[in-house]
Amino acid sequence: MTATVSPWLKAIVGVILLIVVAPLVVPLLMSISDTAYIVFPPRGFTLKWYGEVLANPEARGSFLFSLELAAIVTAISLALGIPCAAGLTRYRLPGQDAILGLILSPLIVPLIVTGVALLQLFSLLGSRATFAQLIIGHTVICLPYVIRSVSASFVLVDRNLEDAAAIMGAPPHVVATRVIWPQVRPGILAGAIFSFIVSFDDYPISMWLADGDHFPVPLYLYTVIERSFDPSIAAISSLMILFALLLVLVIEKVFGISLARLAS
Amino acid sequence: MTVMTRRTFGKLTLGAAGLAAPLVYSRNSWAAGKQIQIGIWGGSQGEFVKKRIIPAFEKDFDCRIVAEEGFTLANVGKMRATKDNPKFSVMFIDDVAIPICKQEGLIAELPKSDMPALANLYPRFGFDGWGSALAISVAGLFHNTEVTPPDSYAALWGPEYAGKLKLVSPKNTPSVFFLIVAAALKTGKPFAEAQYQIDGAFDKVAEIKANVQNLFDNGPQAANEVAQGQADIGLLELSKYVYPYTAKGAPVTMSFPKEGSFAGNNCQVLVKNGPNQDLAVAFMNRMLEPAVQKAFSEYAFTAPPVSGIEFSNETLKYLAYPVEEMDKRGLFTPDWEFINANRSAWTEKMNGIFAV
Amino acid sequence: MTALAATFAKDPEFRGAEVRLSRITRRYGDLTVVNDVDLTASGGEILALLGPSGCGKTTTLRMIAGLVAPSSGDITIDGRSVVGLPVHKRNLGMLFQNYALFPHLTVLENVAFGLAMRGVSKAETSERAREALRLTRLGNFEDRMPAALSGGQQQRVAMARAIVYRPRVLLLDEPFGALDKKLREEMQIELRQLCNSLGLTTILVTHDQEEALVLADQIAVMRDGRIEQAAPARTVYERPTSRFVADFIGTSNFLPAVISGESGGLTLLQGADGRLFASAVPNDLTAKDAVMVAIRPESVRLSPGAVPAGEANAISGPVLRTVFKGQLLSVWIAMPDGGEFVASLPIEDTVQSNPQPGEVWTARWASERTLVVRGQ
């Protein structure tokens, strides 16, 4: 805490941050270019591309749809993932490794394969409910992230603390809320963020399951790139970057969890 | 759920009324309330289909067309995955995939009697009744307007182009056009014969490596980079990805060397056992109607596959139309069945040559 | 500490509870971890469960706490069976080896936890928690987080937290294991004073015989899930009933012997090489039992020369080596049968007589210091 940081370390961290952040600045700069096509460095200054994107009902529709999808998927992934992670880490169950392997398997297979397999399955089942299909498909790929991150925090839970609380008179629900929850909260939040972002950014699953009425942002972005490569693409990318940034800030403010703690 | 409701589309269809065929309302009442899913392309063509053609059609038929933008391989994949219980009724794919779809039993023959618009289709774009072309692009070179393009592909192998070319990635269909060009230059034969001798032409392919700055797999992006002067010439790409920039004033355009050009045929097929086939057929017919074809072609700078459409001279600069003009330009359509059978082996060889 | 006792004295009703275990057994599958244990801790008494790791002492403590359910048998606290009563309703206090402080709560919040669970008003909770902290000399640390405290300070927080709500029984699970020796000894004395002055019934689990001797009124030595011997601390040391206990508590020389008779309150024994022993320590062993004579090194007096034949409670032989241990000098003597016999001399005695390796010396001990224990 009070240890002095060597200037070398500071310099290295600075360089790493620069490498990470610099590519994110490029679309921001390209998005203000007053040209009909993308140039870097930008020529002139205009915000018209943002206006164009924000006024475009297709773009807005896709963005809102992706938000809705990611929020629902995250809620379901947490509802399924937290009890599952708790069960897998706190009890010895027969076939535990097999269960974990099964849950994580969607991350081992290329997502594009998972996506086409799901489409085939839904087709055989005769399902036409695209929205439900997308929710299931995204949950399949978000759940592993939630379970991995929540499991990691459950593994670190000190069981002695629960015993101590119970001995001091805390009934099980109080132990859960006042002792276990504070210990696993960072892991759950990290899982929620991963889940939200994985769903929000997903292309390969959505590509198979989406239809014209349920068209998430990454698919939209791809079609726009094919339409014309003008700075409105950079504007959309910038908006997505800013949105992710906003998400992180909101989480820090609302939940009082610093990113440093999430990373640790 | 989504704001892309029918009503919003309606607002976008400025001037789309002209696309509606002069049909009597009551005749279409059978379609009322029906819905189909169709898979279309992205890009400016997809945009036009979605914002202009579909809203007008929905209005005329009181039906709902849900269009998802995708690309040929994904659309074929979706048809395969849902073969037993099709989700889509109409698919837009490139001609390259039609033999595959036919062989796998994914598509149905078009019912000629229910599609009066087929009457004007040039026979070469009919695929024996297993689909129809919708738009013909020409594939050639694209170059920065400050560069004078060569009149023969052979010149691109010369030392003056060292590091100045962008070559289409083996992932993309126009890569096959490049292989045919290489085989034609090696053998001195026309494209129609050279396409069967590609296997012997990879030494010619390798010789151009020194001139290739990098491979591209996104045509619009590559055109944009050439416009910015990052490379002199790109080869080969379909006009539909390049001309929209030219028309917007970007310093990039196309040229067609003397050896000939290639036709990129964007097509529509009817999904076998897809829902509401009658509505699907009606929509496919609409896509070929003259008013639609004219507007569609003018928007995307592609040539229509049907006869009898009038274009302004300004537009005709970008189109190889009518069919006589296509022949004059030596517009060549490869033997896709032969090419598809060999494509993956060629892709591997290309990857071997251009691997970093 | 006496001030703390004073605050507890405000509650004249308070006294430690009696804890009684009757035929308690705990099995895990085929493994019997605790086997038919009977044990009683009287009100206000400090009882140590002492034994090597794996002897079942921690499981026994956890059964008292309610963290582990017994497979059979009964546990009563003040005569009332608590088997089946959930942990949080047993009104116990417990100190854990790693303190188990809540890392996300401040020191004050940690101490207040048990009071809050008992529905004590906010104002009173805060007042009593502060008081407990002042009394454990942590008054200035209320707002610190546990991670910012030293091991000893954390131990004090844990102590304040365990007693602040006046539990009837305090359970300690190897509470000083993580502290260094000097601090450990300090804390042991403090804890002993605290428990005594509060009148808390305290049950302590330890593998450290010295800790058990310092802290406990009663010691129950456990071995393989059973009670080997349960008795007042001093009795366990002075009159171990088995070789295991004699070996675990303190060190002993063990000499094989058989009981040959009894005479005038003395147990007579015959050892190898015709050696004779007489023990004045009471035992309930007979000639049929396999026994050993156990002699503590510190019970032995040394003198130069060989032992005359026929003398009881004596052994002689050449000195093998000597080791200086500060207050004591340990001397190893070779026995005729090849074994070694160790004696500890107070260092002052070595001024008079200083055994050197190679010299023949005789060890003698009193019949009051001749222990007869079960075992081989």
For residue A23, being part of any structural domain is answered with: no
* Segment C347-358, tens digit of pLDDT: 887 777 788 899
Which residues on chain B are in Cβ contact (under 8 Å) with A39? 228
The Cα–Cα gap between C121 and B335 comes to 88
Res B166 pLDDT > 60: yes
Return the closest-CA partner of residue B168 out of B123, B230, B235.
B235
- Looking at domain C251-374, which of 3.10.105.10, 3.40.50.300, 3.40.720.10, 2.40.50.100 is its CATH number? 2.40.50.100
Query: B58: which residues sit within 8 A by CB, 6+ positions away?
Result: B6, B9, B64, B65
Asked if the Cβ–Cβ distance from B244 to A228 is below 8 Å, we say yes
C-alpha dihedral sign at B300, B304, B308, B314: positive
Classify C79 as helix, strand or coil.
coil
* Segment C164-179, tens digit of pLDDT: 998 989 999 988 877 7
Asked if the Cβ–Cβ distance from A166 to C67 is below 8 Å, we say yes
CATH at A73:
1.10.3720.10
The Cα–Cα gap between C350 and A76 comes to 80
Asked if the Cβ–Cβ distance from A226 to B220 is below 8 Å, we say yes
C111 contacts C161 by C-beta, under 8 angstroms: yes
The structural domains of chain C, with segments of one domain joined by +, span 2-238, 251-374
Task: Kindly state the helix (H) or strand (E) to which residue A16 belongs, with its residue range.
Answer: helix A7-30
Q: What is the arithmetic mean of pLDDT over B129-136?
A: 92
How many pairs of residues across A and C have Cβ atoms under 8 Å apart? 61
* Segment C1-35, tens digit of pLDDT: 444 445 555 555 677 889 999 999 999 989 999 99
Of C7 and B257, the structure prediction assigns the larger pLDDT to B257
Q: What is the arithmetic mean of pLDDT over C317-339?
A: 89
For residue A48, being part of any structural domain is answered with: no
pLDDT band at C117 (very low <50, low <70, confident <90, very high): very high
Minimum mean pLDDT range among A249-263, C136-150, C249-263: A249-263
For residue A250, being part of any structural domain is answered with: yes
**Is the ipTM here above 0.85?**
no
* Segment A22-81, tens digit of pLDDT: 888 888 888 888 877 777 777 888 888 888 888 888 888 898 999 999 999 999 999 999
Average pLDDT, chain C: 88
pLDDT at C49: 95
The Cα–Cα gap between B39 and B82 comes to 13
Return the closest-CA partner of residue C198 out of C14, C40, C13, C64.
C14
* Closest CB to C114 among A160, A161, A168: A168
Res C87 pLDDT > 90: yes
- Please, what are the domains in chain B? 6-136+264-316 (3.40.190.10), 137-263+325-354 (3.40.190.10)
Asked if the Cβ–Cβ distance from A163 to C92 is below 8 Å, we say no
C157 contacts C149 by C-beta, under 8 angstroms: yes
* Segment A69-114, tens digit of pLDDT: 999 999 999 999 999 999 998 888 888 889 888 888 888 888 988 9
For chain B, the straight-line distance linking the first and the last C-alpha, in angstroms and rounded, comes to 46
> What 8-state DSSP symbol labels residue B97?
G
The Cα–Cα gap between C261 and C278 comes to 10
Q: In Å, how far is C254's CA from the nearest CA of chain A?
A: 41
How many pairs of residues across A and B have Cβ atoms under 8 Å apart? 111
Asked if the Cβ–Cβ distance from A160 to C98 is below 8 Å, we say yes
Residue recorded with tokens 């889509």: B88
Asked if the Cβ–Cβ distance from B221 to A119 is below 8 Å, we say no
Q: In Å, how far is C287's CA from the nearest CA of chain A?
A: 49
The answer to whether A170 contacts chain B (CB < 8 Å) is no
Res A123 pLDDT > 60: yes
| The domain over range C2-238 is classified in CATH as 3.40.50.720 | no
pLDDT at B24: 44
Asked if the Cβ–Cβ distance from B69 to A219 is below 8 Å, we say yes
% of residues, chain A, pLDDT over 90: 33
pLDDT at A202: 92
Minimum mean pLDDT range among A132-141, A242-251, C360-369: A242-251
Asked if the Cβ–Cβ distance from A167 to C93 is below 8 Å, we say yes
* Segment B52-89, tens digit of pLDDT: 999 999 998 999 999 998 888 889 999 999 998 899 99
Asked if the Cβ–Cβ distance from A37 to B3 is below 8 Å, we say no
Which subunits sit against B, judged by 3+ Cβ pairs under 8 A?
Answer: A
For residue A33, being part of any structural domain is answered with: no
Which residues on chain A are in Cβ contact (under 8 Å) with B218? 225-226, 229
The Cα–Cα gap between C295 and C192 comes to 30
Interface of A with B in 29-68 (CB under 8 A): 36-39, 57-58, 60-61, 64-65, 68
For residue A124, being part of any structural domain is answered with: yes
pLDDT band at B27 (very low <50, low <70, confident <90, very high): low
For residue A227, being part of any structural domain is answered with: yes
Average pLDDT, chain B: 85
Other C-beta atoms within 10 Å of C311: how many? Answer: 13
Q: In Å, how far is A91's CA from the nearest CA of chain C?
A: 15
Q: In Å, how far is A181's CA from the nearest CA of chain B?
A: 34
* Segment A125-152, tens digit of pLDDT: 888 888 999 999 999 999 999 999 999 8
Dmax (CA) for chain C in angstroms is 79
A58 contacts A253 by C-beta, under 8 angstroms: no
Asked if the Cβ–Cβ distance from B85 to A124 is below 8 Å, we say yes
Residue recorded with tokens 């991150």: A149
* Closest CB to B74 among A38, A124, A207: A207
Q: What is the arithmetic mean of pLDDT over B249-258?
A: 88
pLDDT at B316: 84
> What 8-state DSSP symbol labels residue B99?
H
Res B245 pLDDT > 60: yes
Q: What is the arithmetic mean of pLDDT over C302-324?
A: 89
Asked if the Cβ–Cβ distance from C114 to A158 is below 8 Å, we say no
A92 contacts A222 by C-beta, under 8 angstroms: no
pLDDT at C334: 92
For residue A218, being part of any structural domain is answered with: yes
What's the number of domains chain A is made of? Answer: 1
Res A115 pLDDT > 80: yes
Domain region containing A147: 57-263
pLDDT band at B16 (very low <50, low <70, confident <90, very high): very low
For residue A42, being part of any structural domain is answered with: no
Secondary structure E strands in chain C: 19-28, 31-41, 46-50, 72-77, 80-81, 92-95, 169-173, 201-206, 218-223, 226-232, 253-263, 266-271, 276-279, 291-295, 301-304, 314-324, 328-334, 340-346, 360-364, 371-374
Which residue type, as a one-letter code, is found at position B180?
Answer: I
Residues in chain B: 356
Classify B351 as helix, strand or coil.
helix
% of residues, chain A, pLDDT over 70: 94
> What 8-state DSSP symbol labels residue B121?
B
Task: Kindly state the helix (H) or strand (E) to which residue A223 belongs, with its residue range.
Answer: helix A217-227
Residues paired with residue B140 on neighbouring β-strands, in sequence order? B237
Which residues on chain A are in Cβ contact (under 8 Å) with C113? 165, 168, 170
The Cα–Cα gap between A74 and C334 comes to 77
Res C273 pLDDT > 80: no
Return the closest-CA partner of residue C113 out of C132, C96, C98.
C132
pLDDT at C283: 86
* Closest CB to C117 among A158, A163, A170: A170
